[in-house]
Amino acid sequence: MASEPKKGCLAKALCYPVVVFSQCLNPPRLSQDSILYWYIPFAGGASYTAFSIHIFNPKSLASLFPNGNHMVANMLLFNTHLGAGLYLFNRRHLALAPTHYRLMYSVYGAVIFNFGSILLWALSKVVLPENAWVRGSCAVSASLAMLLIGREYVNYVDSKIKK
């Protein structure tokens, strides 16, 4: 038997992106930890969104970087892996694991998240019309949705760990 949804779930789901993005307007002070675990993951999220646009519309990078679009695409992908990996590495649910396990789990999580997203985007692109605006809008929407869902999932896992 399925449980009834809680009251206000739709409103909370619709307001959640606004809350997350409002946190970006107040970044932490610069320190080694904030650079490694806030700024680099944030840049990784921006690269993730830019890379999704490239997957949905490969001509977008070629028009901006005619001679080096493959290099730029690879750098965006590298940044997405680095950002997601550092984000996972610093999470509470991995805090007690030995460093080599934390590294292994965070690399695995970053690779699965990013390549799973690429597969989803590549399959979704096929059903969309050959319109740069439609594909770009779907790319940004899909990437932001995946980032928000991933963040919510990791926060949920962290919430199950005793402080």
**Predicted confidence (pLDDT) per residue in 8-20, tens digit:** 555 555 555 555 6
What is the domain partition of the chain in residue ranges? 30-160
**Distance from C-alpha of 121 to C-alpha of 129, rounded to nearest angstrom:** 14
* pLDDT given for residue 78 in this prediction: 97
Mean pLDDT on 70-74: 90
Give the burial class of 149: count Cβ atoms within 10 A of its Cβ; 0-12 exposed, 13-18 middle, 19 or more buried.
exposed
* pLDDT given for residue 3 in this prediction: 46
**Taking the CB of residue 41, how many other CB atoms lie within 10 A of it?**
23
Mean pLDDT on 133-161: 94
Least confident stretch, 15-24, 31-40, 60-69, 74-83: 15-24
For residue 24, CA distances in Å to 17, 96, 110 come to 11, 28, 21
